[in-house]
Amino acid sequence: MLIKMVIAGFGGQGVLSMGLNIAQAAMLEGKNVTYLPAYGAEVRGGTANCTVAISDDEIASPVASSPEFVIAMNQPSAVKFQHHIQSGGLFFLNSSLIEAEIVRGDIEIVRVPANKIADEMGGPRAANMVMLGAFTKKSGVVGLDNVLQALKYTLSSKKKLIDINEKALIRGYELD
Amino acid sequence: MDGNSAIAEAAIRAGLRCYFGYPITPQNELTEYMALHLGRRKGCTFLQAESEVAAINMVYGASLVGARAMTSSSSPGISLKQEGISYLAACELPAVIVNMQRGGPGLGSISAAQSDYFQATRGGGHGDYRTIVLGPCSVQELADMTMRAFDLADKYKIPVMILGDGVLGQMKEPVDFKREAPDVTPTREGALMGARGRASRVVKTFTSNPSELEEINWSLFRRYQLIKKNETTWDTFMTDDARLVVVTYGIAARIAKGAIKNLRAEGLKVGLYRPVTLWPFPDEPLRELSKNVKQFLVFEMNMGQMIEDVQLALAGQGEVSFYGRPGGVIPTPDEVGRVMSRLYYQKGLRS
Amino acid sequence: MKLIYSRPKSLKKAAFHYCPGCGHSVAHRVVCEVIDEMELQDKTIGIPPPGCSVFAYNYFDVDMAESAHGRGAAVATGIKRACPQIIVFTYQGDGDLAGIGTAETIHAANRGENITTIFINNAVYGMTGGQMAPTTLCGMKTTTTPYGRDHVIEGYPLRMSEMLAPLDGVAYIERVAISSPAGIRRMKKAVAKAFQTQIDNRGFSMVEILSPCPTNWKMTPAQSWKWVGEEMTQVFPLGVYKDVMEPKHAD
């Protein structure tokens, strides 16, 4: 089994920490895992993305040219990455911020109003966790328990944020 | 942990006392990790130098007095360090230099490449010398090879380069550190310390007598031969029955290995030969391999540099093809696999 | 009989290769006298540059390590950071310190590196045969300014002491001249003060020495010493440019 996913959005939306959470959770499950952030000229509010590869076997390349899963947290990412997804793959869209028409008919689209839900919960910055919850449920690549466990690790220096992030994550997981 | 930070942590655990750096993408995490973790350690120094040139010369100073010292950079910055590396080699001083390569020439790109193989394995600066060059292919190897680099540097009194790339530096993988950081960093015996209880010493490179320098050159090359004999390292994967062997190193080797696994599943007898020390280049085992294998594919993320070492090693035994992507383009295992299978059929290896 | 003059202990018993009248011989001897008097011989590392004084390691009987051209301040930084108990001095010429090594010099000074720099300013590249230096005077003829340095083309002589003194990391800077016995006595005091500054951990210290190069200036030794005193000091005025230990400089 080799699964690759790309997570993309604006800088500041927490797309890198989503990737780290998934990578950390997969590690807890004893998988081989690589996490590769796209790096470049730093622009506040610019686009950010990262690639996570999970496998039972050694991972040859941490780069994904045709990922099984893509999470797009904003409009430019949705436009950029929709053509990369493998046929039959899953495309997670943050429908609060994305209006783009998805032309491809050979992929499954999961729309999650992540910002709207996070706002309703009083934690607008936890939109990424709502999406991560939805992703965990729909993709099945990692277990919810391990994602929650990973969250404690990735937020170890910001302990007071764990509570709201956990709630957002579970809320996302429980969406239909 | 990301590869850059893994190198930094491994270096600290290897007894690093002084790190001198200068920002350049894609190795900044290394410098920043040192700033956070090395500078506060007792007796240790982190310093952001005013230039790459200054940084390598600070390494030279710290190595003179017996401290384990290192610097890191990426391709354009490594060019600037070559002056100091030549002096380190000339003065027989240990040091560890990390190059997380990016695309070139010029400012090039910040994406991962293998554009500096020639520069690294031919010495790089002026003068007749070599440096040991290690080519890791995972975050775990970055950590292990960093520790090995310090040991080799001290053992042979030679600068050692870790030749990584932007992807290895940026990617996160699990890593296990095999040593604990020492309470007191080691001091190399025989270092300059002031002439207390002994005659004063001189560390120099310049002489007005060519014969004197010639003897120094001979002595350096005797040591290089010893290094070649003792420290040459390589790795193979499924070469026993292989009809086509891919010769490749670093991140490219990892990509090729993935492709080989896929092709093996389809019944193609392909294997991998990976130089781990890029200098000394493991030529004898490759020659040995050519007794049974007649088709070789050199795969690099450049326009063909290591291929020259492969051709020298094979000395006409077997046929060498090349596939390369320069500029910071990272080929996929599928892409490399297609090249391998095409070659496999073209060369009639199917039957 | 009273002994009033002898070879300093830290000066090796070797005949100088320097030209007659060259300032290096005098500067070497004075630095060695100070090293003896301050009892620093067994805890000092000296950094000579490429140039005529590359062979300084044949004369200074202390641990010596050659630096690449212009990188003395960076090498000294590495040594001092790795082993703060060692007394480190660089010995640099004008091309080395004020040309190719300007960046290393300024930044070491600005960081307040606790090192001492002996800066020999003779307004010319000596070893390579008398080319223009950053400190060559306007109008002065060298092999690369055969018609005299023209500020329109080559710019002006660089005054390093004046440039470095305002930096917060600098503790002590003085410019002296090898042009008279009094000047040499003044130089010795300055060198001693610079080393004391380092021993006291006060930061960067430098003594700039205006030094004769009769061979490349095409002068006799006597003429060249006179030229230092009468011409060079016009462009490079002597004096203390920074001394954090003196109340008027303290801030």
The tens digit of pLDDT for each residue in A110-130 reads: 999 999 999 999 999 999 999
- Give the pLDDT confidence score for residue A47 in this predicted structure: 81
- Looking at the DSSP bridge assignments, the partners of residue A110 are A92
Total domains in chain B come to 2
Tell me which chains share at least 3 CB pairs under 8 Å with chain C: B
- Give the pLDDT confidence score for residue C1 in this predicted structure: 80
Chains B and C touch (3+ CB pairs under 8 A): yes
| B residues 197..226 contacting A (CB < 8 A) | none
Sheet holding B244-247, edge to edge: B234-237, B270-275, B244-247, B295-300, B319-324
- Is residue B175 domain-resident? yes
Could you give the domains of chain C? 23-243 (3.40.50.970)
Nearest CA in chain C to B198: C42
Chains C and A touch (3+ CB pairs under 8 A): no
Nearest CA in chain A to B140: A34
- Is residue B179 domain-resident? yes
User: Cβ contact (<8 Å) for C78 and B63?
Assistant: yes
Q: If you average pLDDT over residues C195-211, what whole number do you get?
A: 98
Instruction: Examine residue B182 and say whether the peptide bond preceding it is cis (omega within 30 degrees of 0).
Output: no
User: Cβ contact (<8 Å) for C78 and B205?
Assistant: no
Q: Cα(C193)–Cα(A14) distance, rounded to whole angstroms?
A: 57
B42 and B119 assigned to the same domain? yes
* Closest partner CB to B64 (pick from C79, C106, C107): C79
pLDDT classification of A42: cutoffs 50, 70, 90: low
- pLDDT for A11 beyond 90: no
Residues in chain B closer than 8 A to C57 (CB atoms): 202, 204
Nearest to C51 by CA among C118, C123, C136, C127: C127
User: Cβ contact (<8 Å) for C67 and B83?
Assistant: no
List, as one string, the DSSP characters of B98-141.
Answer: EEEEB--STT--SSB--TTHHHHHT-SSSSS---EEE---SHHH
User: How close B231 comes to chain C (CA, Å)?
Assistant: 29
- Give the pLDDT confidence score for residue C249 in this predicted structure: 54
- CB of C113 less than 8 A from some CB of B: no
Residues in chain B closer than 8 A to A6 (CB atoms): none
User: Cβ contact (<8 Å) for B26 and A39?
Assistant: yes
B165 and B18 assigned to the same domain? yes
Residues in chain A closer than 8 A to B173 (CB atoms): 33-35
Q: If you average pLDDT over residues C153-158, what whole number do you get?
A: 97
User: Cβ contact (<8 Å) for A60 and B261?
Assistant: yes
B205 and B313 assigned to the same domain? no
- Give the pLDDT confidence score for residue C251 in this predicted structure: 45
User: How close B96 comes to chain C (CA, Å)?
Assistant: 14
- Is residue B351 domain-resident? no
- pLDDT for A43 beyond 90: no
Return the CATH number at B132.
3.40.50.970
Residues in chain B closer than 8 A to A34 (CB atoms): 171-173
- CB of A63 less than 8 A from some CB of B: yes
The tens digit of pLDDT for each residue in C69-112 reads: 999 999 999 999 999 999 999 999 999 999 999 999 999 999 99
B16 and B125 assigned to the same domain? yes
Nearest CA in chain A to B29: A39
Nearest to B6 by CA among B74, B98, B69, B76: B98
* Mean pLDDT (chain C, rounded): 96
User: Cβ contact (<8 Å) for B110 and A37?
Assistant: no
B65 and B104 assigned to the same domain? yes
pLDDT classification of A1: cutoffs 50, 70, 90: confident
- pLDDT for A159 beyond 90: no
DSSP, collapsed to helix, strand or coil, labels residue B283 as: helix
Tell me which chains share at least 3 CB pairs under 8 Å with chain B: A, C
- pLDDT for A44 beyond 90: no
Nearest to A154 by CA among A16, A20, A5: A20
- CB of B66 less than 8 A from some CB of C: yes
Domain termination residue (choose one: B202, B231, B260): B231
Residues in chain B closer than 8 A to C71 (CB atoms): 53-54, 57, 60, 83-84
Tell me which chains share at least 3 CB pairs under 8 Å with chain A: B
- CB of A43 less than 8 A from some CB of B: no
- Give the pLDDT confidence score for residue A41 in this predicted structure: 60
List, as one string, the DSSP characters of chain A.
Answer: -EEEEEEEEETTS-HHHHHHHHHHHHHHTT-EEEEEE---S--TT-EEEEEEEEESS--S-S--SS-SEEEE-SHHHHHHHTTTSPTT-EEEEETTT-------SSSEEEEE-HHHHHHHTT-GGGHHHHHHHHHHHHH-SS-HHHHHHHHHHHTTT-GGGHHHHHHHHHHHHT--
pLDDT classification of C45: cutoffs 50, 70, 90: very high
Nearest CA in chain C to B204: C66
Nearest to A166 by CA among A116, A129, A123: A129
- Tally of CB atoms within 10 A around B102: 28
* Closest partner CB to B171 (pick from A36, A57, A58): A36
- Is residue B166 domain-resident? yes
pLDDT classification of A40: cutoffs 50, 70, 90: low
Return the CATH number at B307.
3.40.50.920
The tens digit of pLDDT for each residue in B20-50 reads: 999 999 999 999 999 999 999 999 999 999 9
DSSP, collapsed to helix, strand or coil, labels residue B82 as: helix
- Give the pLDDT confidence score for residue B345 in this predicted structure: 95
Residues in chain C closer than 8 A to B69 (CB atoms): 78, 82
B28 and B96 assigned to the same domain? yes
Q: Cα(B41)–Cα(B170) distance, rounded to whole angstroms?
A: 25
Q: Which amino acid is at B41?
A: R
Between A156 and C25, whose confidence is greater? C25
B82 and B60 assigned to the same domain? yes
- CB of C142 less than 8 A from some CB of B: no
Place of tokens 């990976």: B274
- Give the pLDDT confidence score for residue A156 in this predicted structure: 86
Domain termination residue (choose one: B193, B210, B231): B231
Contact B262, B313 (CB under 8 A): no
Nearest to A61 by CA among B4, B323, B253: B253
Q: Cα(A82)–Cα(A103) distance, rounded to whole angstroms?
A: 9
Residues of chain B with pLDDT under 70: none
| Residue range of the domain that includes B247 | 235-346
Which structure tokens are listed for B199?
């005659």
B244 and B196 assigned to the same domain? no
Establish, for the pair of chains B and C, how many residue pairs have beta carbons separated by less than 8 Å: 134
User: Cβ contact (<8 Å) for B192 and C63?
Assistant: yes
- CB of A40 less than 8 A from some CB of B: yes
- Is residue B48 domain-resident? yes
Where does A2-173 sit in CATH, by number? 3.40.920.10
List, as one string, the DSSP characters of B190-241.
Answer: T-----TTS---EE----S-HHHHHHHHHHHHHHHHHHHHHH--EEEES-TT
- pLDDT for C250 beyond 50: no
B143 and B33 assigned to the same domain? yes
Report percent pLDDT > 90 for chain C: 94
Nearest CA in chain B to C100: B53
Those residues with Cβ within 8 angstroms of residue B244's Cβ, 6 or more apart along the chain or in another chain: B268, B269, B270, B271, B293, B295, B296, B297, B340, B343, B344, B347, B349
B257 and B129 assigned to the same domain? no
Q: Cα(B167)–Cα(B112) distance, rounded to whole angstroms?
A: 5
Angle at B280 between CA B278 and CA B281, to 5 degrees: 55
Nearest to C97 by CA among C127, C120, C66, C131: C120
Q: Cα(C172)–Cα(C196) distance, rounded to whole angstroms?
A: 10
User: Cβ contact (<8 Å) for B194 and C43?
Assistant: yes
Q: Cα(C91)–Cα(C103) distance, rounded to whole angstroms?
A: 16
B123 and B242 assigned to the same domain? no
User: Cβ contact (<8 Å) for A60 and B255?
Assistant: yes
* Closest partner CB to B206 (pick from C42, C50, C74): C50
B12 and B147 assigned to the same domain? yes
User: Cβ contact (<8 Å) for B193 and C75?
Assistant: no
User: How close B184 comes to chain A (CA, Å)?
Assistant: 29
Domain termination residue (choose one: B231, B248, B277): B231
